[in-house]
Amino acid sequence: MNIDPVSLKERIIETGLSLGFNRLVFASIEPLSAAKQATYKAFLANGYAASMDYLAREPERRFLPQRTFEQARTVLTVSVGYYNSPPPPPANDKTVYGRVAGYAVGRDYHVVMRAKLKELHAFIEKECGRKVAFRTVADDAAYFEQAFAERHGLGFVGKNTLVILPQLGGSYNLIGELFLDLELPADEPYVGTCGACFRCGVTCPTGAIKELSLAGSALPELEREGDTAYGVNMTVDAKTYLVDARACLSFLTIENKGGIELSLRDKLGDWVFGCDICQEVCPYNSRLQKEKKQAIWPEFRPEAGVGHYLDLFALFAIKDQDEFHQRFLSSPVRRPKLRGMRRNALVVIGNQLALGAASLAFVINTLRQYLLAETDEMLIEHGLWMLSRASKDSARASCGLDLESVKNSLYRRLSPEGKRLAERYL
């Protein structure tokens, strides 16, 4: 069956748009240029991957599409918008709420994206009249997604390291790939820039967005390396922007398995899962925010998942990890597990106590039993920190609740190392 690849490509795009994808581009299987590889290597060399050791395993495979799917001849890259205009926090003096990053307010996008990509693949097979070998990817493969998306025209990588699609309202988009054993014409690179704007970096509460030169000391061997990919000399000497996960609120609340660094806890504010600050201030996203847009796919709307705000006290009423997993089975919020979400909640409640936005008496009444029964040292220490954040006036007003006895009980159960940490704020 002879098929015109250009015509097939047009029909795939038309069908993809009808499924709700907002943009589809086609990528070759050529390796990434040395300049783009250097960006990722600099990320690793500077320690910005934090404890995510899996990101450093065989980094070269992320630059070679056929390492993700050996039969690949084309990579179809798609995006879909997930922005939902957030409402104000619920008015309820009986609990404390924590904010959830926009991509996680609905159902787990990994599952939804893979299902939609399989629908698109079924259409492609029907059009081709044969089996088409494929692999779906939804942020679940060793593939340098942002760089390939930029190289083949989806958008450009902004200073916050997110792919920005100016014509589609910015960076609130989820990306997926369909690797195909079908050769289709590749699209051209997207040319875009943030210009002189650095609002994301200036506004980031922890300064996690770093500017550095790829010809710097972290990768001295690249100073002499050149590349002529796409007919352009790309000698590695330009500045780039990377996110240091060690200071990123998204990493700290999701991928981080340990305690949150003391100096960063107050920076969480009310973010209990992820963070959108660098997107909220991006000028490319202003149109979506002004128009109060909602996600096209109903699966990504707040009513399909946990919504924009989580009741934090409810996390302490969950019996164990099994119950937590079942409750958040279809949500990205299950990623940090119950232990991680309780850690985050203790920090957010502490921040609300410091602002006077939460009642110390209510916090103690609600969490006293949990705090006195907890055996995990990390959570004990975070609970002690939470109580220490209350103002002196609140503490005096709550003296009848025996605040000091709860704090002393928590302190006594800490290891010597934990006590040394606690003494920095007690």
- 236-281 pLDDT, tens per residue? 346 899 999 999 999 999 999 999 999 999 999 999 999 999 999 9
pTM of the model: 0.92
pLDDT digits (tens, 9 = 90+) for 69-102: 999 999 999 999 999 999 998 888 789 999 999 9
Instruction: Give dist(CA 403, CA 286) in Å, integer.
Output: 45
Give Cβ neighbours of residue 82 (< 8 Å, ≥ 6 apart).
Answer: 102, 103, 106, 109, 172, 173, 174, 295, 297, 300
Q: What is the mean pLDDT of residues 307-318?
A: 98
| pLDDT at residue 107, as a whole number | 98
Ranges assigned E (strand) in 28-172: 74-81, 97-100, 134-137, 156-157, 163-164
**If DSSP states are collapsed to H, E and C, what string results for 46-83?**
CCCCCCCHHHHCCHHHHHCHHHHCCCCCEEEEEEEECC
- Distance between CA atoms of residues 405 and 353, nearest Å: 18
Strand ranges across the sheet with 74-81: 23-27, 74-81, 173-180, 134-137
Q: Where are the beta strands (DSSP E) in 138-263?
A: 156-157, 163-164, 173-180, 209-213, 239-243
Q: Say what angle helices 109-128 and 5-18 make with each other, to 10 degrees.
A: 140
User: pLDDT band at 62, cuts 50/70/90?
Assistant: very high
Q: What percent of the chain has pLDDT over 90?
A: 82
**What are the pLDDT digits (tens) for 139-174?**
999 999 999 999 999 999 999 999 999 988 799 999
User: pLDDT tens across 373-425, in order?
Assistant: 999 999 999 999 999 998 776 666 665 567 889 999 999 999 999 999 999 99
Q: How far is CA 37 from the centre of its chain?
A: 21
3-state secondary structure of 179: strand
CB 90 within 8 A of CB 309: yes
Query: Under 8 Å CB-to-CB from 134, ≥6 apart: which residues?
Result: 69, 121, 124, 178, 179, 180, 181
